[in-house]
Structure 1
Amino acid sequence: MLVLGLTGNIGCGKSSLSNIFREDYNIDIIDADIISRHIFEDEILLSQVFKYFGDSIKNTDGSLNRKALGNIVFNNDAKLVQLNSLTHPKIKEQILAKVELARREEKEIVIIDAALLVEGGYLDLLDKLLVVYCNKDVQIERVMKRDSCSKEEALSRINSQLSQEDKISYGDYIIDNSGTYEELKKRAYEFVDYVKENWCE
């Protein structure tokens, strides 16, 4: 089974590419974003996050205010590191379990979709890494539109991640998503064709 990593920075279209692989090619996707949302159902982890970040990230019903937490960690590298130290072990544990399930089900390929594959120490789990990137101005516009935020807020979120250039240096295959969705679909088709010819037995 080929374990393929899919990564890319905020606003570069990683989720769009992941959806194309799932919907058009029926490839199994392990989505770290979905896992990261569900891990806060763990009351012990949630209490640790509240203890460190305080009541300002708590909704009136006691649940996590994700936007408030995001505003804190995207503007403070030390607090982002702290959040990751709390959440990443739980996320990695679930990703490993899902990879093992796909292996037992004898899947030909499984994709781990995560923004922090490089930074989070996942490279040793992967056979190959696909990196999606885009033009910086396009990235800023997409983040502003998606998150309804200012240019300064968008740049803060972008700058909290490893640079696109550094991330690309780890990739076995690179896709430029500076254009339209249709162009991305075409590049996805070319990539799947490449995988079947070069990486799958």
Structure 2
Amino acid sequence: MLVIGLTGNIGCGKSSLSKILEENYFDIIDADLISREIMNNSDLLKEVFDTFGDNIKRNDGTLDRKKLGEIVFNDDKKLIELNSLTHPAIKKEIIKKINNIKLNNKDIAIVDAALLIEGNFLDLVDKLVVITCNENIQLERIINRDNITKNEAMSRINSQMSQSEKIKFGDYIIDNSGDREKLIYDASKLITHIKEKWCE
């Protein structure tokens, strides 16, 4: 079975591309969804609260992701600390989902993960698709989507590996600086490439 990684920085449209691929009957493993699900694990959640304090805990005992984000996106050391807690659990779950897809005799699985490179998940994939976009467009998208300030958006962008660095790891690059129609067109070209070049 071919396992394809899909990655890209915040605001570049990775989730939009992932959705288009899912609509074209590809099996998607969503690392962001997994990271939310693993926070239901009481042991891991306790470790996160112990590390970052009870001010990130809501009244009902659940995690306030916004408050946690404010801490880690402004402090590289805190982000590394969070990732060291969560990444092993995320990786384990991704492997489990890849194996489930394989058991169903599928030909392709796509791992959708923003931190696929930084999280040391590259060994799980055979090919890597990197989605990029113009940095001004990226900034505008994040501010509008997340309703945050320019400085907050910049903190999130700067917390990730640069787009130029990510591109070096890619087997296939999509520039998503255009509109949705252009992304749909580029997705169809990617699908053709997968079927004709990578599934031989």
Q: Shorter-chain TM-score category? A: over 0.9
Q: Where does residue 145 of structure 1 map in the other structure?
A: 144
Alignment of 1:151-190 (within 5 A): 151-190=150-189
Percent identity of paired positions between Structure 1 and Structure 2: 58
- Residue 50 of structure 1, CA deviation: 0.3
**What is the DSSP-based 3-state SS (H/G/I as helix, E as strand, rest coil) of the residue aligned with 1:33?**
helix
Residue correspondences, number: 200
CA distance in 2, matches of 1:195, 1:50: 42
- Residue 130 of structure 1, CA deviation: 0.1
**What is the DSSP-based 3-state SS (H/G/I as helix, E as strand, rest coil) of the residue aligned with 2:110?**
strand
CA distance in 2, matches of 1:153, 1:146: 12
CA distance in 2, matches of 1:145, 1:13: 13
What code does the residue aligned with 1:53 have?
A: F
- Residue 103 of structure 1, CA deviation: 1.0
RMSD of the alignment, in Å?
A: 0.6
Q: Where does residue 9 of structure 1 map in the other structure?
A: 9
Q: Where does residue 58 of structure 2 map in the other structure?
A: 59
TM-score normalised by the chain length of structure 2: 0.99
- Residue 17 of structure 1, CA deviation: 0.1
**What is the DSSP-based 3-state SS (H/G/I as helix, E as strand, rest coil) of the residue aligned with 1:41?**
coil
TM-score normalised by the chain length of structure 1: 0.98
- Residue 61 of structure 1, CA deviation: 1.1
CA distance in 2, matches of 1:4, 1:168: 15
CA distance in 2, matches of 1:194, 1:45: 40
- Residue 134 of structure 1, CA deviation: 0.1
Deviation string for 1:87-109 (max 9, x for gaps)? 00110000000001111111111
CA distance in 1, matches of 2:102, 2:111: 13
- Residue 49 of structure 1, CA deviation: 0.3
- Residue 31 of structure 1, CA deviation: 0.1
2:110 is the counterpart of 1:78: no
CA distance in 1, matches of 2:21, 2:189: 12
**What is the DSSP-based 3-state SS (H/G/I as helix, E as strand, rest coil) of the residue aligned with 2:114?**
coil
- Residue 142 of structure 1, CA deviation: 0.5
2:41 is the counterpart of 1:42: yes
**What is the DSSP-based 3-state SS (H/G/I as helix, E as strand, rest coil) of the residue aligned with 2:39?**
helix
- Residue 124 of structure 1, CA deviation: 1.2
Alignment of 1:19-38 (within 5 A): 19-23=19-23, 25-38=24-37
CA distance in 1, matches of 2:123, 2:116: 10
Could you list the runs of 5+ residues in structure 2 that have no partner in the other structure? none
CA distance in 1, matches of 2:121, 2:61: 32
- Residue 170 of structure 1, CA deviation: 0.3
